[in-house]
Structure 1
Amino acid sequence: MKDNPVPARALRIIKVIAALVFIIPASLFFLYPQVFHCELIAFSGFRESGSVYFSPEIKPASYKKLKRIVSLAEMRIDSFYTGKKSSPKIIICSNPQQYQRYCSSTEGAGCSVGTPWGNSYVVLNEQGANLDVIAHEMGHIELLKRIGWWKVTSEIPQWFNEGLALMLDRRFVNNPDPAGRYLEYMDEWMYYTGGGQQILELDQVATIKDFFNGGQKHVMLAYMSAGMEVSYWLALSGSKGLQRFVQNLNAGQSFEEAYAGAEQARLKEYYRKLPSNPLRYSDSEKISE
């Protein structure tokens, strides 16, 4: 009588599943250790106060001030997006070692961490935890919440992601008027390009690697290019342009279609006296310039 092969086959399947259960998390931890550290923040010794986790080295007397700054940043998100949808956990570190653990970097005053399953975190250095930094990082999380992790990582160019976050960050330009904001970003862009002589095209800063891999001057020029383009786009899109962009993207349009579709002809006519955006010149115009 032949043995029934089904149990042996089922056993092999169970072994494969068990191996995957171990290998996939292990691989993710190796590639993205900051995600796992953030997910386990509740077991880290950080002190929880609402949605904010404070390093054990931060004195409780500082909690109220830091939470107030977080609340002000949330108000900026709410105003800019006409309603806030995201609720990231905030992790405030007291030293570079902690910051690197949760950000996988020693650079910058803050970073944002999002996951495909919907959890999100804003990680901050206590020394750099100011309103602009927090609003900038929360801006990344809000976009992630509205269009999804997959679209942000696979469809959204980094210049747009950073440029939109800059609209919530007033460290470089602090002008609430759409046209005025564009003009001020153009001034910054002119400075970093040496009067328009050393341009970074948008497609040269479309990926995270291209945007951040370079010296400080390269990164600052990438930021100013992103800020100039997105501020120009918002001026031509009007108060409902960002909402229209998100809706069209979620309805299946490509980034290029949704981005172009947000701009309005009447606003293009209204702002016709604005200096032209040099990042939108055709190749022939660039040569003639």
Structure 2
Amino acid sequence: MSTRPRRTRRWPWFAAGLVVLILAAAAVPVLAFPSVAATTCPRCYGLVPVQDGLYSERGLSTADRQRLIEVYREANQRIDSFYEGRESAPTVLACFTPGCYERIGGGGERGIAVLNQALMLSPRGIDPVIATHELSHVEFHVRLGSRRDQIPQWFDEGLAVLVSDDARYLLPRTAPDRCRNASSEPLPRTLHAWLRAAGADEEVYAKAACRVYQWVDAHGGEPAVLDLVDRLNRGERFAALVEG
């Protein structure tokens, strides 16, 4: 009587290997992009709700908690006022300690918007101006949708300075001309070029803010931005509307 060779059951090993690969693939974005993971699951990074949409570290003092709530409230009011309402609802992660900000993927910046869905504030960014700046990026991008690709980085940054009313880069509203730096030199169009320029000289923010302020002022004031968004969403081109 012949004997058939025994077949080794390999499927359990295959299944185990597949699970390992899936877990490894899931870990890659967490390790490579902790800011994305943190804004998706703030609790996973030790942050707790302060109020709806706002997270911070555990154990905040009463004073720090109240300060954060006031910053959040004022920044949202500025966005609501400028954009005449809201279409975005980003999650906000605010850190009072450098260790917290590093843990969630932050660097040397005061604040940063993450994928138009969230923003992170460093200890130096818990300020209405910085919070408004980042919220403006998110609101502007959400309103534009796929048209966002038309917007050069200098306009996006200059607009965020204008919306946040950043006194570092713009003169007071009472000034006949709010420009602090009216340079006519070409400004960075891509994010990479912008980061390189801003790292070398923060005056690029003042130059961009002046350029945006001048365009807004020449086109009827703040409502010109909402009109721009509408026209872009109807298919018109940014270059023709702003740079033409």
Provide TM-score, normalisation by structure 2: 0.78
Match of 2:132 among 122, 127, 135: 135
SS of match in other structure, 1:85: coil
Q: How many angstroms apart in 2 are the aligned matches of 1:219 and 1:236?
A: 27
The one-letter code matched in structure 1 to 2:193 is D
| Superposition RMSD in Å | 2.9
Q: How many angstroms apart in 1 are the aligned matches of 2:33 and 2:238?
A: 26
Give 2:94's aligned residue.
Answer: 92
Give 2:181's aligned residue.
Answer: 189
Match of 2:152 among 157, 163, 166: 157
Give 1:227's aligned residue.
Answer: 209
SS of match in other structure, 2:114: strand
**8 Å CA contact retained: 1:88, 1:141:** yes
Displacement of 1:32 in angstroms is 3.2
Displacement of 1:155 in angstroms is 2.4
Displacement of 1:58 in angstroms is 2.6
User: In percent, how many aligned pairs have the same letter?
Assistant: 25
1:126 paired to 2:123:
yes
**8 Å CA contact retained: 2:106, 2:122:** no
Give 2:13's aligned residue.
Answer: none
Displacement of 1:259 in angstroms is 3.0
Provide TM-score, normalisation by structure 1: 0.67
Unaligned runs of 5+ in 1: 1-17, 191-195, 262-289
Change over 3 Å in CA distance of 1:151–1:21 after alignment to 2: farther
Q: How many angstroms apart in 2 are the aligned matches of 1:56 and 1:236?
A: 47
Give 1:201's aligned residue.
Answer: 186
Q: How many angstroms apart in 2 are the aligned matches of 1:82 and 1:101?
A: 35
Change over 3 Å in CA distance of 1:43–1:22 after alignment to 2: closer
The one-letter code matched in structure 2 to 1:164 is L
The one-letter code matched in structure 1 to 2:137 is H
Give 1:6's aligned residue.
Answer: none
SS of match in other structure, 2:201: helix
SS of match in other structure, 1:78: helix
Q: Deviations over 1:148-167 (max 9, x none)?
A: 2x443x32211011000000
The alignment of Structure 1 onto Structure 2 pairs a total of residues equal to 223
**8 Å CA contact retained: 2:147, 2:233:** no
Change over 3 Å in CA distance of 1:207–1:156 after alignment to 2: same
Higher relative contact order, chain-length normalized (CA < 8 Å, sep 6+): 2
Q: Deviations over 1:35-93 (max 9, x none)?
A: 12211113332120222111125324421221112111111111111222222111111
Give 1:266's aligned residue.
Answer: none
**8 Å CA contact retained: 1:212, 1:219:** no
**8 Å CA contact retained: 1:200, 1:222:** no
Q: How many angstroms apart in 2 are the aligned matches of 1:22 and 1:157?
A: 38
1:254 paired to 2:237:
yes
Match of 1:67 among 54, 66, 69: 69
Q: How many angstroms apart in 2 are the aligned matches of 1:243 and 1:61?
A: 37
Displacement of 1:258 in angstroms is 4.0
Q: How many angstroms apart in 2 are the aligned matches of 1:241 and 1:215?
A: 27
